[in-house]
Structure 1
Amino acid sequence: MGRRIASAVATASLVGALGVAGAAPALAATPAPLSFTIDYTRNTSIPQSPTLGAGFAGNGPVFDAQGRVIGRTFDTCGIDGVESPTKVDADCGAYVVFDNGDELNLSTQAVIDANPMDYPYRFKAVVEGGTGMYNGAQGEATVTAERPGVYKVDVKFA
């Protein structure tokens, strides 16, 4: 009977250790800082009259510093607060799919402003992993809203 208990405990410990080790894939190396610009100006569903609880989505090209398209982004947002007819608090998730197939996932709680007079403004986003080189990545991004629908993103990985 004692052997069965010892065997069960050893098996449970091994399974637990494997489960913990497999739960959070480690990065081979921390990715280098990354900067790009997202353009949602052609494809967004931000409502003209925002209401609490409404959602919106967008997609568009991703550009490098030289203006070359390096991927696409897709986002969805939920409106958590309405500050004015042109400003909403939004909980957003964005997925950047680069041309090489790697994906970077970002999440933020931010003010989205449709008033062109209030630009530029900044907010932070959280890196929530991704695929390929960004599998398991963590860090933060500084997002600069340059004008309605156009965001410069500077990512620093931890």
Structure 2
Amino acid sequence: MKRRIAATLATASLAGAIGLAGAAPALAAPDPLSFTVDFTKNTSIPQVPNLGGGFAGNGPVFDDSGQRIGTVYDTCGIDAVKNFTSFEALCQAYVVFNDGDRLDLSTQANIELNPLNYPYTIKGVVRGGTGWYAGAQGEATITAQKPGVYDVDVKFK
């Protein structure tokens, strides 16, 4: 996957550098990506949510075979309190892969402090990144499997 993206980027750069006439070739989007994040050991979700409050978390990222492929860091700001057990938060997550590349995700999430129904799904957006994900755009489907454990499926545009 990374070689295909690198070749596409090199071709586009070369075309721009020598000033070829006509439109430059469209850059290929990265292949879809799936991984699991685990916040079970490192998160600070408040037991009593308050408007304007925040929380953060981090944890390992695993591929489908269970191999650790990186670390996720996330920060959230509470922007609506529904009741004492439910609130809305704007969350920014940064997945730092073992090779140093970073993928940036964002979501507006409804958070239940004691959710009873698993799995549940949250939609998110890709907001770029670094390395192979520089300039990336797309959407993410985040599925909570149990408290603190999320499957993430990313589709790039």
SS in 2 for 1:133: helix
In structure 2, the residue matched to 1:126 is 125
Q: Provide the C-alpha distance between the structure 2 equivalents of 1:116 and 1:66, rounded to a whole number of angstroms.
A: 27
Q: Provide the C-alpha distance between the structure 1 equivalents of 2:86 and 2:30, rounded to a whole number of angstroms.
A: 34
CA contact (8 A) 2:47 2:113 kept: no
SS in 1 for 2:116: helix
The amino acid that maps onto 2:118 is: Y
**Aligned pairs (5 A) from 1:1-158:** 28-158=27-157
Deviation at 1:109, TM superposition (A): 0.5
Q: Provide the C-alpha distance between the structure 2 equivalents of 1:144 and 1:36, rounded to a whole number of angstroms.
A: 11
In structure 2, the residue matched to 1:7 is none
Deviation at 1:64, TM superposition (A): 0.6
Higher helix share: 1
The amino acid that maps onto 2:110 is: V
Deviation at 1:88, TM superposition (A): 1.5
The amino acid that maps onto 2:147 is: P
Deviation at 1:118, TM superposition (A): 2.3
Deviation at 1:28, TM superposition (A): 4.8
CA deviations on 1:107-131 (whole Å, 9 max, x unpaired) are: 0101122324122111110100000
Q: From the superposition, tell whether residues 132 and 111 of structure 1 become closer, same or farther in structure 2 (CA, over 3 Å).
A: same
RMSD: 1.5
CA deviations on 1:82-102 (whole Å, 9 max, x unpaired) are: 223322200000000000111
> What TM-score results when the alignment is normalised by the length of structure 2?
0.80
CA deviations on 1:21-72 (whole Å, 9 max, x unpaired) are: xxxxx98531000000111110011111111110000000001111111000
Identity across matched positions, percent: 65
Q: Provide the C-alpha distance between the structure 2 equivalents of 1:151 and 1:139, rounded to a whole number of angstroms.
A: 18
> What TM-score results when the alignment is normalised by the length of structure 1?
0.80
CA contact (8 A) 1:27 1:137 kept: no
Moved more, 64-73 or 110-119: 110-119
Structure 1: 5+ residue stretches without partners: 1-25
SS in 1 for 2:72: strand
The amino acid that maps onto 1:48 is: Q
Q: Provide the C-alpha distance between the structure 2 equivalents of 1:130 and 1:68, rounded to a whole number of angstroms.
A: 22
The amino acid that maps onto 1:93 is: Q
Q: Provide the C-alpha distance between the structure 1 equivalents of 2:123 and 2:47, rounded to a whole number of angstroms.
A: 25
The amino acid that maps onto 1:40 is: F
